[in-house]
Structure 1
Amino acid sequence: MTVTDNPDRHRFELDVDGQTVFADYRRRDGVLAITHVEAPPALRGTGAAGRLMEGVMQIARAENVKVAPLCSYAAAWLRRHRDYADRVV
C-alpha cells in the first residue's frame, strides 16, 4: 500500500480495500501542516491511519519538510513515533 499526494484536494491518501484513509494538509514555507486525519468507520482500529501517517512522514522526510501536527490524531501518532521527531515543528 502506497500513500499518495492528492494536491488538488490538499490531502494524502491511502487506499485500503477500496476505501480511502486521508490526511488533509496545508503547505507553507517548508512546513506541512496536517490539519485532519480520517479513516472510514470500517477501517478504524485496523492500523490504517497509522500506515497513512507512516507514509506521510516518509514523504516529509524525502521532501525535507517539517510537519506541524495540528490534528490531535497526527500529534498523538508523532508522540508515539519519536523516530520522526526531527521532522516535527
Structure 2
Amino acid sequence: MELAVEHDRAARRFHATVDGHRCVLDYTLSGDLMSIVHTGVPAEVGGRGIAARLTETAVDAARAAGWRVAPLCSYARVWFERHPEFRDLLA
C-alpha cells in the first residue's frame, strides 16, 4: 500500500490520512532524543501496516537528524523488537 506520511515538525507529529481516517505518531524532542509517545491508527483502517510505516518514517527521520530514539509507546517498543537493524538508534 502506498502511504504518504507527512512530518509536522511544529506539532512533533508524523501523520497520514487513510480512507478519511487520521493516523498519527506523536513524539517529543529533548536535545537529540526523540521519544515516541503515541502511535494511533483507527480500527477502521487497522491491520494494513500503517503504524509500522509511521514508525519507520519517524525512525528514518531520527537517523537523518542524528537523534537517538526512546520508544515509550507500546507499539514502538514492539516495532523495535521486530526491526533489529534500527536498534543502534535506541537511547
The TM-score normalised by the length of structure 1 is 0.89
Q: Give the structure 2 partner of residue 63 of structure 1.
A: 65
Deviation at 1:2, TM superposition (A): 3.2
Runs of 4+ with >3 A deviation: none
Tell me how many residue pairs correspond in the alignment.
89
Q: CA deviation at 1:31?
A: 0.4
Alignment of 1:35-54 (within 5 A): 35-54=37-56
Q: Aligned partners of 1:86, 1:3: CA distance in 2, in Å?
A: 23
Query: What is the alpha-carbon root mean square deviation over aligned residues?
Result: 1.3
Gap change, CA 1:11 and 1:79, over 3 Å in 2: same
1:6 matches 2:12: no
Q: Which segments of 5 or more consecutive residues in structure 2 lack a partner in the other structure?
A: none
Gaps of 5+ in 1: none
Please say if residues 3 and 56 of structure 1, whose CA atoms lie closer than 8 Å, have aligned partners that are also in contact: no
Of 71, 74, 83, which residue of structure 2 is paired with 1:72? Answer: 74
The alignment's TM-score, normalised by the length of structure 2, stands at 0.87
User: What corresponds to 1:31 in structure 2?
Assistant: 33
Give, in angstroms, the shift of residue 83 of structure 1: 0.9
- Whole-Å separation in 1 of the counterparts to 2:26 and 2:12: 6
Distance (whole Å) between structure 1 residues aligned to residue 57 and residue 16 of structure 2: 9
